[in-house]
A = this chain, B = another copy of it.
């Protein structure tokens, strides 16, 4: 199915998910921006927006909806309640449901945050000749909860989650440069080298996703990750939240290249 799916324009991909299809969105609608979703009650929206402002690398904001709205200018005609393949519903920091449609869970006071996703910069890395190991190996990117605290905002706090891609030393400069040009998609790495610096004990045991091969001499490079808001939810225990299911992103009509600063 993948080649057929990959060729779908964003609107058609969203229509399939609206009709009930689910699964990872990696590689779908190439060139179009995918986004992380976190929706919280309006009473918590200021804390969430401030948290994002204070932690722009893990939480780069692409759009924020008005309370109760399920639409965004990033994808006219889309419905944020139905057009993602999978969702997670949280109450007091506990995962209570994993539906493919959250129409029944949506509330009039929900504010949805759409955050940049590393799928955008991975396309840029590949285009620049930097290998992306988990794509080569057909796996999900390995993600780790670090010991590095995010800067808190109001009631919200939590530790930064990072994703890791091994990079050959002669491609490190390119990898840093290419991702730095996408500050709306996590930007440059937060760390290169020894995982212990971030409090990561074992690269072979990621907290989310799959381990990948690190070849001798390759440098593990760590980027801030859009899964961070989910650790904030579990740490801060807001009364209610809806997020995307990991890897099952919102596909927008926006073009990746429009977000490149140069």
> How many copies of the polypeptide does the oligomer hold?
2
Main secondary structure of the interface of A (DSSP, over half): helix
Interface status of A235 (Cβ within 8 A of chain B):
no
Residues of B within 8 A of A188 (CB): 261
Q: Is the CB of B61 within 8 A of A53?
A: yes
Kindly state the separation between the CA atoms of A50 and B53 in the bound complex, as whole angstroms.
Answer: 10
**Interface 1/0s, chain A 79-106, versus B by CB < 8 A?**
0000000000000000000000000000
* Residue total for A at the interface (Cβ-Cβ under 8 A): 16
**Bound form: Cα–Cα A9–B64 in Å:** 39
A180 in contact with B262 (CB, 8 Å): yes
**How far apart are the CA atoms of A64 and B151 in the complex, in Å?**
12
Interface residues of A (CB under 8 A from B): 45-46, 49-50, 53-54, 61, 64, 177, 180-181, 183, 187-188, 261-262
Given contacts A181-B262, A187-B261, 14 further A-B contacts (CB under 8 A): A45-B46, A46-B49, A49-B49, A49-B50, A49-B53, A50-B64, A53-B53, A53-B61, A53-B64, A54-B64, A177-B262, A180-B261, A181-B261, A183-B261
